[in-house]
Each structure stands twice: as structure tokens, then as C-alpha cells.
Structure 1
Amino acid sequence: MTDTPEWFRETLCPDYGLSLRVDRVLQESETGHQRLRLFENARFGRVLTLDGVIQTTTADEFIYHEMMAHVPILAHGAARRVLILGGGDGGLAREVLRHASVEQVTMVEIDAGVVAFSREHLPGLSAGAFDDPRLDLVIADGMAFVTQSSAQFDVILVDSTDPVGPGEVLFTDSFYGRAKARLAEGGILVTQNGVPFIQPEELRQSMRAFRALFRDATCYLATVPTYSGGPMALGWGTDGTARQTPVDVLRDRLEAAGFEPRYYTPEVHAAAFALPGYVARLMT
């Protein structure tokens, strides 16, 4: 008789859940804000959960982090200062810092425990990003930072958890307005907006705020297996024209950057803004 394997079941949504077999529990801990659990799964590698919700896996994190970082940075074409709100595992900072043209990255994370946990148990995600002299790590509330700071950024990336707990405020109209005030001329705001098929209100509410704030307000999509239920939406807001950057220009900029992403390509970049009807209707 064999032991019944343990299965993790995510219950973020009341009528839908993702299950992963727990092959081995590696670490469990509590921070002042969240409960962290790290386990291994044969398909997804190391799986990090916060308060019972999957945040990232070592097998497919590159898709999300590449699409959140490279789409706005390469579309902008001259991003020097980047603000990351959230992203305590360091994966997004890793991708942003692959751009030698980026001179400074300010990363604001509310939970120092997530950073410490990730540095110790998921060092491959940050891949040295926390030791890069261009990175300024600030342990603070993201809403408070954009309210109190006077700094200007070319790109702002909101790598938040879902709109529950510490991440809830990062989905409010007030937050989006204050984040926009931190954008330099032609700056771009990109946000994590969930899986539209499963979480339609999350995208609808964010896009309502974006339309009131930005001349160019939309989203683009990335297919990340961990975030099941359809493609994931990344909100896009700018008063500039970066979304119209031609594919051949994106290709030249990526070549000049000198690295080869695993998921992102200029062609995928352009296609990601072609929205299925049900997603486009959430933004009207």
C-alpha cells in the first residue's frame, strides 16, 4: 500500500481551482504580512505560494517576467529609470536589469520576508539582481511610495499579488492616479491584471481607471501555464505612442540589448496586443 500523495489546491476563485501535486515541501514560514510555502512539483519545479495562492514557479516564471519587463522597456526605447512595485522574488528585477540601458531600478516591496525567503530558497529567480548596484530596494508600501515620492520614472511595473490582502490597494483608482503622477513624459505603466476569463472584474475595473487617466489604455496578453484559465492580462497605460513601435524597430532594440529571451520576441510583443473579443469587451 502506497501513501496517498499530497495535492495543493489553489482556492483564489470560489468556483475554480488549480491543483499541483506536492512532491516535497521545502519550506514554510510566516512573515508579518503573509504565509509562505515552497514545495517541489515534477512539472513546475519549485512552487512558491503566499496565503495559499501560487505566486511563481521556477519552470514558467520566465514567461510572466519577460513579458512584463521587455514589452514596455523595448517599446519605450529610452527607459533609464524603472520602478517596480512588488516583485519580491526578484524575477522581474532580473529581467529589467538585463537591459544595460536601464540606469536605475527602484524596487518597492512591502514584505521584507518575501525578499529574504526568495534570496535563500529561490536564488535562481533573482539571479544576482539584488546585488546589482543599479537596484535600490525599498521596503515600503507601494501606495505610500507613489504618494510621497517626487521621483519620475520612464516605466512603472506593478508586479502585485491578486487584489486581496497587501495587494488590494494596488488595484484602486487612487493608486493608479498616483502611479501616473510618477511617470516621466512618455512613460508607461504596466500592471498585473489576472486571468480575464476567470477574473473579469479585475481587468474591467482597472481598465476603467486607465481610460480616465491615459490616452492609450489597453492590455496585452501572455500565456503562463501556472496562471490557468486562459491567457493572463497585463494592463498598459501611457500618454505616448510606444504601442505603435514597429516590429523591425523592436527587433533592432532587442538585438542592441544583447540578450535572447526565452519567451519574448518582437513578433510575440506585437501579437500580444491583439485581444480576443471577450477580453476587448471587458474594456468598453
Structure 2
Amino acid sequence: MSDGLVFNETLYPGVQVSYGCDRILYQEKTEHQDLVLFSNPVFGKILMLDGVTQVTTADEFIYHEMMSHVPIIAHGAARNVLIVGGGDCGLAEEVLKHRTVERLVQVEIDASVVEFSKEHFADFNDGVLDDPRFELVIADGMKFAAETERTFDVVIVDSTDPHGPGAVLFSEEFYRNVHRMLTPGGVLVTQNGVPFLQRDELVTSIERFSRIFRDAAAYIAAIPTYFGGHMTLGWATDNPDLRRQAATVLDERFNAAGFKTRYYTPDVHAAAFALPRFILDAVEEGRKRA
């Protein structure tokens, strides 16, 4: 370690997570947030924004595969995809593995995060910005959703937690604008935290989804970086059948996609919607509140 240097994450009241730092690779206070990148012997490169862990090179594949492949394969005919946030472009890289995706628009508020990620996260986003299907829009995601006339089959919100600039991306107004942007049968997926420690975040999102969409749900993934157990990914659509696709259908679509994964499988996809009781209780509470 570099003289015992550590970075502490204090996102959760009463809990502190500390990462040992071998070396600070980059540090900057941007127009929108404090950014630091450092190396750790277990997680590799770690990016923190405003003191909250965003991504690590060791386990980014879990988060990015589950946020992208689950909605795209469940939909089965996604041609136009929108990412809100996702400045490290790891999610974009996974979306673009689907040859059936004709256009991917990514709306990111902070241009400096994208520029930074081109240099420091090339091991998992190399080639994204050069793909002719990829369109980067530097803008506020809330404003884009309110004003655009474009429509999308899948919308993925790869946001920070509901504090600071990311808070509006958890609002009912934002979700209503996403609903307007979605094509019939389209699906929204969101980052919804670790419900063991952030239960209210999940309950509130499900409540807001339920006022707008016919089907409000969540699925889970185990991501070591995000301390506290299962991470939930919010799910909202007007087509309830999308999260109940037969395993044979998922398997057929994944095989046709023709790429390899490190976490996602059709079986994991189907199982991810089987929620532990305490998470299902939170989802059901959100639905009842609506």
C-alpha cells in the first residue's frame, strides 16, 4: 500500500467501507462532481464520484452484463437503445455486442467523465466511441427525456445514487418522460441500490413505476463492489410477459446473439427475477403505495 492510504465510502449511515490504495491514478473536481481513480490490489482500478464507488475493473462485467443483456434479450427485438448516465461506457460496450441494435444513444451530463474513461477504462470500453451505431449526447438526462421526440425500445438508467445530480433520475417526472419515449412494449431498467441497506430507494422507485407502467418489478445481481448483498435493478414496462420469457426462448436469443459473457447466462437471467423474501416485500410495498 502507498503509506497506508485508504479511501472511505460512507454512502450508508452507520457503515464505512474502506479501500486500500496502491496509487492515486487521477483526481479532479469537475463541474458536476469530485472524481478520483485509484488502484487497489483486489478490485483493480476503482472510480469514486463524490466519495461513492462507481465502478471497478475487477467486477464491472457483472453490473454491465446484467443491466444490458437482461432487457435486450427479454425484449427480443430492440433496435434503438438509450443509456442515461454510464459515463465509463462499459454499459455501452455490452449493448453494442448485440448486432441487432441499430442505434445506441448515451446521454451523459459530464463530458470530462467520458474523456477520462476513454483513457483509463479502455480495457472494457475500447472501440465504443468509434462504433457508427453509437451517439454520445452531453446533456442533462432529465432535460433530454423531457424534450426529445425520439423513441427507444430499451432505456437503461446507469445513474449515481439519488443524491446530488443523480437525484432527478429517480423522480416520477423523469419516469413519465421515459414512458413517453418508450416504444410499445419497451422496457426501462434502472440502478436501484442494495436493498439491505437502501430499502427505501427500491420501495420508492417501485411505487413511482407502478403509477406509470403496467409492470413494476426488480431483478438482482451479486456484485462484490456494492457492499451489502444483492443489488437490485429496477424493471418497468407495459408488457408483463417480458420478465416471464421461457428459458428456451432466452437460450435461443442468447445463442443467436453470438457473444461470450462472464456472468450472464439465460438461466441466471430467469433466476434473477426470483427475489428473496425481504426484497420481494419491498417491491410489494412499493406497488401497494401506488
Q: State the TM-score bracket (shorter-chain normalisation).
A: over 0.9
**What's the offset of the Cα at 1:125?**
2.6
TM-score by length of 1: 0.98
Q: How many angstroms apart in 1 are the aligned matches of 2:86 and 2:16?
A: 23
Q: Which residue of structure 2 lines up, in the alignment, with residue 259 of structure 1?
A: 259
Where structure 1 has 5 or more consecutive residues not aligned to the other structure, the ranges are: none
User: % of aligned pairs identical?
Assistant: 56
Per-residue CA shift, 1:145-204, capped at 9, x if unaligned? 110001110000000001111101001111111111100011000000000001111101
Q: Which residue of structure 2 lines up, in the alignment, with residue 272 of structure 1?
A: 272
Q: How many angstroms apart in 2 are the aligned matches of 1:225 and 1:276?
A: 18
Per-residue CA shift, 1:35-58, capped at 9, x if unaligned? 111100011000001111110000
Within 5 Å, give how 1:12-23 maps onto structure 2. 12-23=11-22
Where structure 2 has 5 or more consecutive residues not aligned to the other structure, the ranges are: 286-290
Tell me the amino acid that sits aligned with residue 138 of structure 2: I
Assess, with a 3 A threshold, how the Cα gap between structure 1 residues 112 and 3 changes in structure 2: closer, same or farther.
closer
Q: Which residue of structure 1 lines up, in the alignment, with residue 228 of structure 2?
A: 229
SS at match of 1:205: helix
Q: Which residue of structure 1 lines up, in the alignment, with residue 176 of structure 2?
A: 177
Q: Which residue of structure 2 lines up, in the alignment, with residue 244 of structure 1?
A: 244
Q: How many angstroms apart in 2 are the aligned matches of 1:95 and 1:242?
A: 20
Within 5 Å, give how 1:106-185 maps onto structure 2. 106-185=105-184
SS at match of 2:211: helix
Q: Which residue of structure 1 lines up, in the alignment, with residue 27 of structure 2?
A: 28
Do structure 1's residue 201 and structure 2's residue 200 form an aligned pair?
Answer: yes
Q: How many angstroms apart in 2 are the aligned matches of 1:253 and 1:268?
A: 14
Q: Which residue of structure 1 lines up, in the alignment, with residue 219 of structure 2?
A: 220
**What's the offset of the Cα at 1:3?**
7.4
Per-residue CA shift, 1:195-216, capped at 9, x if unaligned? 0001111101000011111111
SS at match of 2:99: coil
Assess, with a 3 A threshold, how the Cα gap between structure 1 residues 154 and 4 changes in structure 2: closer, same or farther.
same
Q: Which residue of structure 2 lines up, in the alignment, with residue 104 of structure 1?
A: 103
Q: How many angstroms apart in 2 are the aligned matches of 1:100 and 1:4?
A: 47
Q: How many angstroms apart in 1 are the aligned matches of 2:244 and 2:194?
A: 25
Q: How many angstroms apart in 2 are the aligned matches of 1:33 and 1:128?
A: 26
Q: Give yes or no for contact 2:2–2:21 (8 Å, CA) kept in 1.
A: no
Tell me the amino acid that sits aligned with residue 275 of structure 2: L
Q: How many angstroms apart in 1 are the aligned matches of 2:236 and 2:262?
A: 25
Q: What stretches of structure 1 move > 4 A for 4+ residues in a row?
A: none
Assess, with a 3 A threshold, how the Cα gap between structure 1 residues 3 and 149 changes in structure 2: closer, same or farther.
closer
Q: Which residue of structure 1 lines up, in the alignment, with residue 288 of structure 2?
A: none
SS at match of 1:32: coil
SS at match of 1:225: coil
TM-score by length of 2: 0.96
Cα RMSD, aligned residues only: 1.1
**What's the offset of the Cα at 1:15?**
1.0
Tell me the amino acid that sits aligned with residue 183 of structure 2: A
SS at match of 1:213: coil
Tell me the amino acid that sits aligned with residue 104 of structure 1: R
Range with bigger deviation, 123-132 or 78-87:
123-132
Within 5 Å, give how 1:1-16 maps onto structure 2. 4-16=3-15
